[in-house]
Amino acid sequence: MKKLLVIFVALWIAVRPAWADEMSPETKRAQIHTELGAGYFGMGKLGIALEELNTAIKVDSNYAPAYNMLGLLYMELREYDKAGDYFKRSLSLDPNNSEAHNNYGWFLCQRNHEDEAIGHFMSALKNPLYSTPEKAYLNAGECSLKKNDDKAAEAFFQRALKIQPALGPAQWRLAEINFRNGNYDEAQRYLDAFMKTGGQTREGLWLGVRIAHRLGNRDAERNYGAQLSAHFPDSREAQAYRNGQFDGTATTQGQK
């Protein structure tokens, strides 16, 4: 099963800043090549993206957004040493860049440096102009789960929902956390919210079955189970339902 987190690192298509007219010709060219690189990266054309980003840093070796994008690209290529170096270079040139902090934080989280990663997510949030702070909170929650710290994760996911109430990944994680900790009514509340935004998924229906089973709500259990069997008849969750195996670990909801 693919992971829950749609990695909320931005594909970073640069927005023309208000001070763009004050840029040097070299910086303007670097910005254009970085925007092109980001666009190609978003389309999965990594070779062309790399060419554009390398051109950007040749034109202006101090253009921080190009290094941020190179970090993302090499992370995608699983060349982790290069990715880390480029993220650090970007932040050395622009220490207040929230997107770079968020992206580097996610990189560190994937490399099992959770505490350092959460520090970067918090640095991203210090910038009052950061346009998508829910991403940093969501990623901090994911990193906290990797540390088996449900309490911190729950707080981060709740902060993300305060900013974006329909943020499906946060709703899902809160449903899982509450189920795991025996808070079944709360788990149901978050699951209902998730299914309104994310639709019926096999993982969501399976969690619904298990919540209803724990609450002793046999009508709801049968309803979720019928939908699970109808829409995902060959899934392991449907098989577990048919076999009455309700105590296994819930699978992880995800898209990627």
Q: Using pLDDT thresholds of 50, 70 and 90, give the confidence band for residue 142.
A: very high
What are the tens digits of pLDDT across the range 167-224? 999 999 999 999 999 999 999 999 999 999 877 899 999 999 999 999 999 999 999 9
**Confidence class for position 6, pLDDT limits 50, 70, 90:** very low
Phi and psi torsions of 206, nearest 5°: -65, -40
Helix, strand or coil for residue 167? coil
CATH code assigned to 168-256: 1.25.40.10
pLDDT class of 21 with cuts at 50, 70, 90: low
d(CA 104, CA 89): 11
pLDDT for residue 251 is more than 80: no
Query: Could you tell me which residue, 103 or 7, shows the higher pLDDT?
Result: 103
pLDDT at res. 248: 57
State how far the Cα of 67 lies from the Cα of 89, in Å rounded to an integer: 6
pLDDT for the residue 198: 76
Q: Tell me if 109 sits within 8 A of 117, measured CB to CB.
A: yes
Superfamily of domain 1-94: Tetratricopeptide repeat domain (1.25.40.10)
Helix (H) or strand (E) holding 182: none
Cα–Cα nearest to 189, from 170, 209, 205, 174 = 174
Domain with CATH 1.25.40.10 in the chain: 1-94, 168-256
What tokens does 112 get?
């099992």
Write the CA distances from 54 to 31, 69, 89, integer angstroms.
12, 10, 14
Contacts of 164 (CB under 8 A, 6+ apart): 134, 170
DSSP symbols for 132-194: -HHHHHHHHHHHHHHTT-HHHHHHHHHHHHHH-TT-HHHHHHHHHHHHHTT-HHHHHHHHHHH
Query: Which pLDDT tens digit goes with each residue over 51-110?
Result: 999 999 999 999 999 999 999 999 999 999 999 999 999 999 999 999 999 999 999 999
Q: What's the chain's Rg over C-alpha atoms?
A: 21
18 has pLDDT over 80: no
pTM of the model as a whole = 0.84
